[in-house]
Amino acid sequence: METANDTPYHLVVFGATSFVGQILARYLFESYGVGQSLNWAIAGRSQQKLDGLKSRLGDGADALPVLTADVGDEASIDNLCAATRVVISTVGPYALFGEPMVRACARSGTDYCDLTGEVQWIRRMIERYEDDAKASGARIVHCCGFDSIPSDMGVWFLQQQAEETFGARCRDVRMRVKVAKGGLSGGTVASMINIAKEVAADPKLRKEMANPFSICPPEHRSSKRQPSLKGAEFDRTLNAWLAPFVMGAINTRVVHRSNALQSARYGKEFTYDEAMMTGRGMKGRARAYAMTAALGGFFTASAIKPTRWVVEKLVPKPGEGPSEEQQRTGFFDLRFVGRTEDGKTLITKVTGDRDPGYGSTGKMLGEAGLCLAFDIASDQPGGFWTPASLLDGALHKRLTEKAGLAFEVVETR
């Protein structure tokens, strides 16, 4: 079977034996089989571990191709890129291990997606390799997991509905996590600890991390102050207490980059923020303050060497994460409140049928890779894109038909 550009594979899962890599590999195997409509392979450092993964996938997986590649071996990374149209990378923390594959894809013209939430690393990759990606035609799409597909595509959907309903876009959008049930993996925690370490060591980075336009093109800025929840607050529109949302620091940046790459489609003075809903009344208020304190305590302890080791002993280790049962019974419900310039309000929601960080992320990441492989025109320019700015309607279709996500209008006012 030929692939879109006559490479052996449509896509390769790099880091397939990582926690998320295994979830992704199982999703692709159970949804698309081996060598049928999708030609794909798994890749990583250890042949033995990759063979072990194949044996756990089930009948028919023995035909799944295996490639060995190591981020420390440039030739092996180049060979992997030459063999596929798309690389899906689950090798994190990306700030420590992700650059060699991004560099190789950008220079070779190989499309790429991942599930990073490390905004400081994304900025570095854009600065170093966007010119290479534009020259080669490689489409690089970071943040294709829970951070930041539900947020990015949620705003995309809300704006589509606002245009149809009001004939105008929403200039102000707020995302609120109504509920999310799931667990942390060691890889995610390691990435969060690494961000805290980098910020503590570099005062300039601390200032940059506070910039909501940090990964936007330099010319894309707004004179309007961006909202950013720092503590407990009451939301009168949704009648609930709020606490800061840990993923908001990356999701807001991705949404602003999407707006920039679509020629400020949401407006040059567009504002966006995210928060967690903690409930109503005194219990909701208490939860909001407790969550704010816990989040602040985690990042403070992670940034200071004497207490960092305590955090590292208490949290899951890389390779650990929620059980299959926890993934299957998890879910999420996000609410988006958008307001037009003349005061009209639209409320939408995005829901997922698995735990957000792993069960649902594996499906979203897989469909983003397939969207790159099959749905995006070959003449679409190379560069560093976002899910909404490049994959838009094609990804929305895949998410709703394949990945268990739903996008719905809740209310108009």
Residue 39, domain CATH: 3.40.50.720
Number of separate domains in the chain: 2
CA 250, CA 192: separation in Å to the nearest integer?
A: 11
Residue 161 lies in a domain: yes
Same domain, 281 and 309: yes
Q: Is residue 259 part of a domain?
A: yes
Residue 1 forms part of a structural domain: no
**Full residue range of the structural domain in which residue 240 is found:** 149-355+407-412
Q: Is residue 262 domain-shared with residue 395, that is, in the same domain?
A: no
Q: Is 2 inside a domain boundary?
A: no
Residue 394 and residue 255 in one domain: no
Q: Verify that 343 and 379 share a domain, yes or no.
A: no
Residue 264, judged by CB atoms within 10 A of its CB (0-12, 13-18, 19+), counts as middle
Q: What angle do CA 120, 125, 129 make, to 5 degrees?
A: 160
Cα 322–chain centre separation: 18
CA distance 269 to 97: 36
Distance CA 200, CA 212 (A): 19
Distance CA 290, CA 351 (A): 25
Whether 252 and 281 share a structural domain: yes
Task: Examine the domain organization and report whether 336 and 371 are in the same domain.
Answer: no
Residue 4 lies inside a defined structural domain of this protein: no
Residue 3 lies in a domain: no
pLDDT of residue 3: 42
Whether residue 169 sits in one domain with residue 124: no
The answer to the question of residue 264 being in a domain is yes
pLDDT tens, position by position, 272-326: 999 999 999 999 999 999 999 988 887 777 777 777 766 666 666 666 778 888 8
Q: State the Cα–Cα distance between residues 3 and 395, nearest whole angstrom.
A: 20
pLDDT of residue 402: 97
In the three-class reduction of DSSP (H, G, I as helix; E, B as strand; rest coil), residue 118 is classed as coil
pLDDT on residue 173: 98
Rg (CA), the chain: 21
**Tokens standing for 336?**
């988006």
Q: What's the confidence (pLDDT) of residue 4?
A: 41
Q: Is residue 134 located within the same domain as residue 178?
A: no
Query: Do 137 and 166 share a domain, yes or no?
Result: no
**To the nearest 10°, the Cα dihedral for 392, 395, 397, 398?**
180
Residue 185: inside a domain, yes or no? yes
Same structural domain for residues 250 and 320? Answer: yes
Split the chain (413 residues) into runs of 10 and give each run's mean pLDDT: 67 96 97 95 97 95 96 97 98 93 98 94 97 98 95 98 97 96 70 74 76 93 88 94 92 97 96 96 96 84 72 65 86 97 97 94 97 95 98 97 98 94
Same domain, 53 and 108: yes
Same domain assignment for residues 157 and 291: yes
Q: Which of 248, 229, 243 is nearest to 291 (CA)?
A: 243
Q: Give residue for tokens 């854009």.
A: 126
Query: How is residue 342 annotated by DSSP?
Result: T
Quote the CA–CA distance of 30 and 201 in Å, as a whole number: 44
Gap between the Cα atoms of 302 and 201, Å rounded: 12
How far, CA to CA in Å, does 400 sit from each of 177, 297, 353, 403? 19, 37, 11, 6
User: Over pLDDT 70: what percentage of the chain?
Assistant: 94
Dig out the tokens for 341 from the structure.
Answer: 């310039």
Q: Which amino acid is at 78?
A: D
